[in-house]
Structure 1
């Protein structure tokens, strides 16, 4: 008796790589448990590829699956790219990775591990996360879906009515985290530094973990008696404390995340004017039920919506649906697997 076909997805983030998969027959997740490990980017590209392959091997073993069942693999990795499968200078990965042909390296490593060629597709991690979330949020409905996922950086994707992401002519489509923020609507805050090198105040710097050190520096003088103002801990440790403090009602931390929600709301309105989606999915760690409380998530989404609404067209105010992501950390790995599946269907 033949074993069912599967498609796998590798999600390579700046710090953590994850492996997931779907059944070919119905595109349902094989497991809600991701295989996770350090991306290990500081050790170089070969170490990263080795980790991806070990993630696949571990996922197969954990779910009692075999290489013979694998019909394709998708790889989600941050852009931008020089060309398909080749990195350009990426904000959250080492500068030495520029020019890395990750697609060919991973394809070769998969072939060696499987003993045969495995079809591989690769693309922007934000785009692929959007593919996964879009399948969930719209069901059988034909509608476009915008996804924004604040994490280390800002993942962004527009998924068309066929379930595929907008890549753009140079594969830089929907690098929306590096669009400029409307700083005049955010209290005239200064342009923050961004890892991408732009100096115009990238949205990513005001909405994600990467910008929190600068945002904390900006807001902390208002709270001279705050524990973080007195603390001698490194900035990184202070930043990681903010989410917990906000969920306890701390005024400084709440102000910071309220600011991030306003910045994201304005960005949603800006993108809605250009892309006109029916659904906007907000993902990332802030919407993760295992990391934040229902009250925190509800407050963030409320402020986001209130900030976006005045700048939407009247018809959009009646139809646009802003919802939290439902796949959580599964989204990018599952989305990568779905693109591999869709690509296989198109090639037949």
Structure 2
């Protein structure tokens, strides 16, 4: 490209149900905070998913009067675990047809076909790359390390170092913090099975949508007259109503989200023992201003803080800052774009 000032780095976030596209300019600023998302189409197989990513990227460029000639690099945020770099292993949230799929080469090839030339592509864990996006925002010109915990369908976790890059680990399994066992005795909870196959009480099940059916089924015994107790829908479908009910002050829904916030607070303390961050960013849909009320978010974060702080080392209680995420559903696609930019400089 002749005009580096107009260089663009694309980021694609592959979620279990939806995929999102974002981008940054060559100086790291975000091209747009308007979310572009498409259905992931995972049930149609890997080829269909890759095709949908490229189509979404083309739509993004068109919507912002950009061209493929301006694209200097791309990043892809995908769920783990991995057999090796860019090759998926069995995922708790994707069909078995994705096991062994070389997503790096497939997407790189599809991007090259659409752009008419090779585009450097980096691939990383979706939670890790989400942390990169949020880290740039929360620390500004500072250099403090950042821990991200983002409960959604699963629990996205990331640790971002002073350079702005995530901890991946030697087998790309670093910061799979959602599958760390939680101290169940502190919650008075049973060891629910996790989608990853473990039955030791993965923290993901106690903090995310994946565990809501278990929590709801147990607590409905205390609320026999609740509308969800009388529903004939499967427990998983009933659980989808909890977020809306919580916004309206429903006691059952608030009790469940208070429990999840307590579990996440314990996990903040556990992870702080390992990585000693300066900032902890809480992300996910529960922190989305368009999906939850100010009162709900304040209550949730208050429980997280009140649970975590007494469990920290004394020095951490005054230095560690727990804040809500700012990029929302854009964090992972923006983080993927930023890593593509950072890698291009090395």
TM-score range, shorter chain: over 0.9
2:142 aligned with 1:147, yes or no? Answer: no
| Pairs within 5 Å for 1:193-342 | 193-342=193-342
2:8 corresponds to: 6
C-alpha displacement at 1:154, in angstroms? 0.3
Q: Once superposed, which parts of structure 1, at least 4 consecutive aligned residues long, lie more than 6 Å away? A: none
2:159 corresponds to: 158
C-alpha displacement at 1:88, in angstroms? 1.0
Contact 2:46 2:97 in 1 (8 A): no
2:93 aligned with 1:92, yes or no? Answer: yes
CA distance in 2, matches of 1:19, 1:181: 33
Equivalent position SS for 1:17: strand
1:15 corresponds to: 17
CA distance in 1, matches of 2:96, 2:151: 22
| Pairs within 5 Å for 1:119-134 | 119-134=120-135
Q: How many pairs align?
A: 344
CA distance in 1, matches of 2:67, 2:52: 18
CA distance in 2, matches of 1:68, 1:131: 26
Question: Alpha-carbon deviations, 1:174-220, whole Å to 9, x = none?
Answer: 00000001100002x11111110000010000000111111111211
Equivalent position SS for 1:91: coil
Equivalent position SS for 1:52: helix
Contact 2:130 2:336 in 1 (8 A): yes
Question: Alpha-carbon deviations, 1:47-91, whole Å to 9, x = none?
Answer: 000011001110011011001000000000101111100011111
CA distance in 2, matches of 1:237, 1:86: 32
C-alpha displacement at 1:235, in angstroms? 2.1
| Pairs within 5 Å for 1:57-96 | 57-96=58-97
CA distance in 2, matches of 1:260, 1:284: 13
Q: Which runs of 5+ in 2 are unaligned?
A: none
2:117 corresponds to: 116
CA distance in 2, matches of 1:96, 1:43: 9
C-alpha displacement at 1:249, in angstroms? 1.2
Equivalent position SS for 1:197: coil
Equivalent position SS for 1:329: helix
Equivalent position SS for 1:131: helix
CA distance in 1, matches of 2:220, 2:125: 35
C-alpha displacement at 1:4, in angstroms? 0.9
CA distance in 1, matches of 2:182, 2:220: 21
Alpha-carbon RMSD = 0.9
2:30 aligned with 1:29, yes or no? Answer: yes
C-alpha displacement at 1:237, in angstroms? 2.6
Deviates more, 1:64-73 or 1:3-12: 3-12
CA distance in 2, matches of 1:186, 1:179: 15
C-alpha displacement at 1:248, in angstroms? 1.2
CA distance in 2, matches of 1:97, 1:344: 28
CA distance in 2, matches of 1:249, 1:34: 29
Question: Alpha-carbon deviations, 1:135-185, whole Å to 9, x = none?
Answer: 000011111100000010000000001000000010000000000011000
Q: Which runs of 5+ in 1 are unaligned?
A: none
Using structure 1 for the length normalisation, give the TM-score: 0.98
Question: Alpha-carbon deviations, 1:203-254, whole Å to 9, x = none?
Answer: 0000001111111112111111111111112323311110111111111111
Equivalent position SS for 1:111: helix
CA distance in 1, matches of 2:190, 2:339: 39
CA distance in 2, matches of 1:288, 1:297: 9
CA distance in 2, matches of 1:96, 1:112: 24
Equivalent position SS for 1:229: helix
